[in-house]
Amino acid sequence: MQFAERLNNVETSAIRELFKLLGKPGIISFAGGFPDSAMFDVAGIRAATEAALTEEAGGALQYGATEGYQPLREQLAALMSAKGVTGVAPTDLLVTTGSQQALDLLGKTMISPGDKVIVEGPTFLATIQCFRLYGAEVISAPIDDHGVDVEQLEKLIAEHKPKLVYLIPTFGNPSGATLSLERRRKVLELAVKYQTLVVEDDPYGDLYFDAAPPPSLLALSFEVPGSREWLAHCGSLSKVLSPGLRIGWLVAPAELRDRAVMCKQFSDAHTSTFAQATAAQYLRAGHMPATLAKVRAVYAERARAMGAALQRELGDAVSFVAPQGGLFLWVKLTGARGQLQDANVLAQRAIAQGVAFVPGAPFFAQNPDVSTFRLSFATADVAKIEDGIARLGQALRAQA
Amino acid sequence: MQFAERLNNVETSAIRELFKLLGKPGIISFAGGFPDSAMFDVAGIRAATEAALTEEAGGALQYGATEGYQPLREQLAALMSAKGVTGVAPTDLLVTTGSQQALDLLGKTMISPGDKVIVEGPTFLATIQCFRLYGAEVISAPIDDHGVDVEQLEKLIAEHKPKLVYLIPTFGNPSGATLSLERRRKVLELAVKYQTLVVEDDPYGDLYFDAAPPPSLLALSFEVPGSREWLAHCGSLSKVLSPGLRIGWLVAPAELRDRAVMCKQFSDAHTSTFAQATAAQYLRAGHMPATLAKVRAVYAERARAMGAALQRELGDAVSFVAPQGGLFLWVKLTGARGQLQDANVLAQRAIAQGVAFVPGAPFFAQNPDVSTFRLSFATADVAKIEDGIARLGQALRAQA
C-alpha cells in the first residue's frame, strides 16, 4: 500500500523507544506526562454528568455545533476571565478534543509543506511531530531558565520567516521553565513587528505552587497594541480536571478561528457533547477552585521532595532549577568530576535499577542535548519519589 | 494572515447555505442528518456512566491508549461478531472520535496532494470536503437504486488509479441506496484486482426496517481472497446510541491501521476515555438490542409515512425508492407535465411554506444533479411528516 508522502516527515521510533520504558512492572516511573489519577474529583464529575443527563440530555447526547457546546464556551470564557483574561467572549473560543487537537487544527490551517515553524528547544514532542505531519520544517530556538531567548528568537524569525512560533511560556514541557514578564512583552512585540503568529500553549499555567506566574501572553496581549491579531492561545482541562474528558480550547483571531472551525468540521465534527456538558456542569457547580488548591498542594510537595532527593542523591552530577509549578523537573547531567553525561545511558541503567524517566534528546527538534532528561513528579508519592531518586543515584554510580 | 494552501481546495459556501436553512423557528425540518434525540436511551447511558465512574474512574478519566480503551475495543469486536463479522479481534480496530475522524485519518494517512479518490455521486458531503483538504481530486462514480454502478466504477479505477474508493454501501447518505450482494462481491474483487483500497463507511447498516441488508463488505471480505488487505471499514455508535459520545471505529489492514494510530496520536491523542468507558459499559450491560429494536420500529413507521405522503401530495412530480433502512429518502424531481425540476428553487419555496430540506447538488463531487434532494424522516413524528410533506406539495405548486 502506498501511503501519503507526509508520513515520511515523521520519525516515531524515538517515541516508541520511550513507550517501551514505561510498561515494566514494579518500576517507579517518572516518565509520564500525565496528572495523578488519585487527584481526580470523581464525585464532582459524577455529579456533573448526572446533572447534564438530567437537565440537558438532548444536548449532551446529540450532535452539537463544531465551535463547541455553548454552556461550556460560557464557562471557559468565565474561567479565563477569572484569571485576568478580559475581553474573551464565549464565541471567541473554539472547544477542541484536548489541546492536542488545537495544535492539529493550527497545523492544518496554517502549514503548507515546506513552511517553517519555530519551537523552543526543547519542547513538547507531539507538537514537533504534529507540525511535521503537515510538512513543516521545525526550527529550534534556544531557551534558558527564563524561557525562550528572545534575542535569538528574533534572529530566527527574521532569518526564517516562520508560519508560526510555538511556545509553552509557563512551566514548559519538558523544561519546566517560565518565560519572564519582560520576555513575554517582547514576544508579543515580535509577533506584531514580524506579522508572525505566536501560539501560546498553556496547559500548566494554573498549576503554580506559590506565587502565580506572570500573566499569560493572552492576558498581556491587551497591553501590546496589535498583538491580539497575531496570537493563538491553547487551553486545557486535562492537567487539573481530567485528561479523559478531552476538553481543550483555542482562542485565535477571527479569520484563523473561522478556518480552524471549518477544518474541525471535517476532523471530528465536534468534541463530545457528553464530555462538554459534563465539564460545563462541573465548572458551573464551582468545584474548580477547591480541586485546583488540592492539586497544587500535592504537586508542590512532590516537586520539593524530588528536588531535595536529587541534591542529596546525585549531588554535583546534576543541575536543575527547582520548578515553581507544572508537572516536570528538567535535569542536566553536568559531567562534573568525570561523572556520566549521557542521559540515554543513564536511562538504560535506571531501568535496571527499577526507575524510569524520559531522556531529553527527543524533545529537541534540532541539536539534541543528550545530557538532559525529564522527570515527572506528578504521579509518584513522596516515599516513591525518594525511593526512585535513590535508585537513580545508584544507576548513576553503577558501572557500565 | 497567510493560511495553508490546502484551504484553497475546499469551498464551504454550499455548506453554509445549507445550515442557513436549518435554523428558522417554526419550520418543519427534514434537513438534518441526525437521529431523533427522543430515541436516546438516557437511563441506560446514565447507568453506564455511573458504572464507569464507580468501577473504573481511573481509566475513564485518565489519558488512554491512542488505539482505544481496551474494554470498548472488546465490546465493539463482539458487536461486529454478533453481526457476522468473524475474525476481527479487539486489537484489529482503532477507536475514533466519531467515524468522521476515521475519514480524517484515512485522508491524512493515504492522500498526498494531487492523488485521486473515487466516491459515489452523490455521497456524504463531509467526506468530499475532508479528502479535498488533504489535496485529493475527488472523482464521482454513478449510482442507481442498487448502489454504485460497478462497471462504471471499474472503468474509473482503471483510468484514474485512485488512492482509495469510498462507499456507503448500506442505506447510503444521501441516496438511501443499498449495494446488492452481487455488486458487493464485485467491489471486493476490484479492490484485489487493482490493488486499490476500498473504504466502507457503515454508520446506518444496523438501521434496517424489515429484512437485514446484505452482509457488509467487511463480513464478505472473508469470502473474497485477498480483499481483506484492501479494505477499511468505518463503524459508528452515533446513529443508534448517541452522536454526542463521538464513538466511531476503524478496521483496516495492519500497516494502514498502525499509521492511522500514529496520525491519531498527533490529532487528538485519543478519543475521550470518559465517553469510551461509558459506551463500553452500555454495550456490556446488553442494552443495545432493545434500543436498536425501538429505533428501527420508529424510523420504519416514519419512512413509510413519508413515502405515502410524498406519493399522495407530490404524485408524478417526484420519483423515489422507498427506503429499507437508514435515515434518508432521496427524491428526484421528474419534471413531468412541466412541473418544477430544480430542487434549489423548490428549497427556497419550501422555506416560505415552512418546511426545510437539503437540495441534492452539493452531495455530488462532480456533475451535480439539481433535480435531486434529500429528506430525513428521522426527527419528525408522523403528524409532522404529513404536515411537512403537504407543505412541500404546496411549495411545488406555488407560483415562482
pLDDT digits (tens, 9 = 90+) for B150-185: 999 999 999 999 999 999 999 999 999 999 999 999
pLDDT tier at A18, thresholds 50, 70, 90: low
Query: Which residue does chain B place closest to A64, by CA atoms?
Result: B244
CA distance A335 to chain B (A): 35
pLDDT tier at A23, thresholds 50, 70, 90: low
**According to the model, what pLDDT value does residue A13 have?**
62
Query: Which residue does chain A place closest to B51, by CA atoms?
Result: A46
Contact A244 B272 (CB under 8 A): yes
Q: Per-residue pLDDT for A222 more than 90?
A: yes
- According to DSSP, the residues that pair with B319 across neighbouring strands are B332
pLDDT in tens, A233-271: 999 999 999 999 999 999 999 999 999 999 999 999 999
A1, A45, A60: residue with CB nearest B53: A45
β strands within A135-245, DSSP E: 137-144, 147-148, 164-167, 197-201, 231-236
Contact A244 B61 (CB under 8 A): yes
CA distance A268 to chain B (A): 5
Q: How many CB pairs under 8 A join A and B?
A: 217
Contact B268 A100 (CB under 8 A): yes
pLDDT in tens, A234-244: 999 999 999 99
A62, A113, A268: residue with CB nearest B268: A268
**According to the model, what pLDDT value does residue A200 have?**
98
Query: Which residue does chain A place closest to B2, by CA atoms?
Result: A110
CA distance A270 to chain B (A): 8
**According to the model, what pLDDT value does residue A308 have?**
98
pLDDT in tens, A352-390: 999 999 999 999 999 999 999 999 999 999 999 999 999
Query: Which CATH code is given to the segment(s) A43-287?
Result: 3.40.640.10
Residue that has been written with the C-alpha cell 424489515 in this structure? B210
β strands within chain B, DSSP E: 28-29, 93-97, 116-121, 137-144, 147-148, 164-167, 197-201, 231-236, 247-251, 318-320, 328-333, 355-356, 358-359, 372-376
Of the residues A9, A274, A295, A379, the best mutation for testing chain B's interface (the one with the most B CB atoms within 10 Å of its CB) is A274
A166-191: string of b/e by CB count within 10 Å (b at 16+)? bbbbbbbbbbbbbbbeebbbbbbbbb
CA distance B206 to chain A (A): 18
Of 3.90.1150.10, 3.40.50.1370, 3.30.70.270, 1.10.10.60, the CATH number of B5-40+290-397 is 3.90.1150.10
A101, A109, A273: residue with CB nearest B3: A109
Domain ranges of chain A: 5-40+290-397, 43-287
**According to the model, what pLDDT value does residue B16 have?**
59
**According to the model, what pLDDT value does residue B11 have?**
77
Of the residues B2, B62, B112, B197, the best mutation for testing chain A's interface (the one with the most A CB atoms within 10 Å of its CB) is B62
B103, B110, B274: residue with CB nearest A4: B110
| Average pLDDT over every residue of B368-387 | 97
Contact B278 A274 (CB under 8 A): yes
CA distance B340 to A158: 61
CA distance A126 to chain B (A): 6
Query: Which residue does chain A place closest to B229, by CA atoms?
Result: A1
List of chain A residues whose C-beta atoms are within 8 Å of the C-beta of residue B60: 244
**According to the model, what pLDDT value does residue B21 have?**
57
Q: Per-residue pLDDT for B75 more than 80?
A: yes
A6, A262, A272: residue with CB nearest B275: A272
CA distance B11 to chain A (A): 10
B63, B133, B238: residue with CB nearest A34: B63
List of chain A residues whose C-beta atoms are within 8 Å of the C-beta of residue B267: 100-101, 104, 130, 267
Contact B173, B326 (CB under 8 A): yes
Question: Which contiguous run of DSSP H or E holds residue B107?
Answer: helix B98-110
| Average pLDDT over every residue of A41-51 | 98
**According to the model, what pLDDT value does residue B399 have?**
72
B97, B110, B267: residue with CB nearest A3: B110
| Average pLDDT over every residue of B103-126 | 97
Q: Per-residue pLDDT for A400 more than 80?
A: no
CA end-to-end span of chain B, whole Å? Answer: 43
CA B25 from centre of chain: 27
ipTM for the complex shown: 0.96
Contact A104 B12 (CB under 8 A): no
B12, B134, B242: residue with CB nearest A61: B242
Query: Rounded to whole angstroms, what are the CA distances from A115 to A109, A112, A118, A125, B4?
Result: 12, 6, 10, 19, 9
B5, B53, B97: residue with CB nearest A112: B5
CA A304 from centre of chain: 21
Query: Which residue does chain A place closest to B273, by CA atoms?
Result: A244
Contact B390, B354 (CB under 8 A): no
pLDDT tier at B101, thresholds 50, 70, 90: very high
CA distance B257 to B93: 8
What kind of fold does domain B47-287 have according to CATH? Answer: Aspartate Aminotransferase; domain 2 (3.40.640)
pLDDT in tens, A126-175: 999 999 999 999 999 999 999 999 999 999 999 999 999 999 999 999 99
List of chain A residues whose C-beta atoms are within 8 Å of the C-beta of residue B133: 108, 263, 266
pLDDT in tens, B259-294: 999 999 999 999 999 999 999 999 999 999 999 999
Q: Which three three-digit cell numbers place residue B39?
A: 430515541
CA end-to-end span of chain A, whole Å? Answer: 43
CA distance B244 to chain A (A): 4
Query: Which residue does chain B place closest to A59, by CA atoms?
Result: B244
CA distance B232 to chain A (A): 12
**According to the model, what pLDDT value does residue A22 have?**
59
List of chain A residues whose C-beta atoms are within 8 Å of the C-beta of residue B192: none
B42, B49, B100: residue with CB nearest A269: B100
Neighbouring C-beta atoms of residue B169, cutoff 10 Å: 27
B5-40+290-397 and B47-287 agree in CATH topology? no
CA distance B110 to chain A (A): 4
Contact B46 A53 (CB under 8 A): yes
CA distance A303 to A299: 6
Q: Per-residue pLDDT for A24 more than 90?
A: no
CA distance A317 to chain B (A): 33
pLDDT tier at B220, thresholds 50, 70, 90: very high
pLDDT tier at B26, thresholds 50, 70, 90: confident
Contact A62 B244 (CB under 8 A): yes
Residue that has been written with the C-alpha cell 536511562 in this structure? A347
Q: Percent of chain A at pLDDT above 70?
A: 96
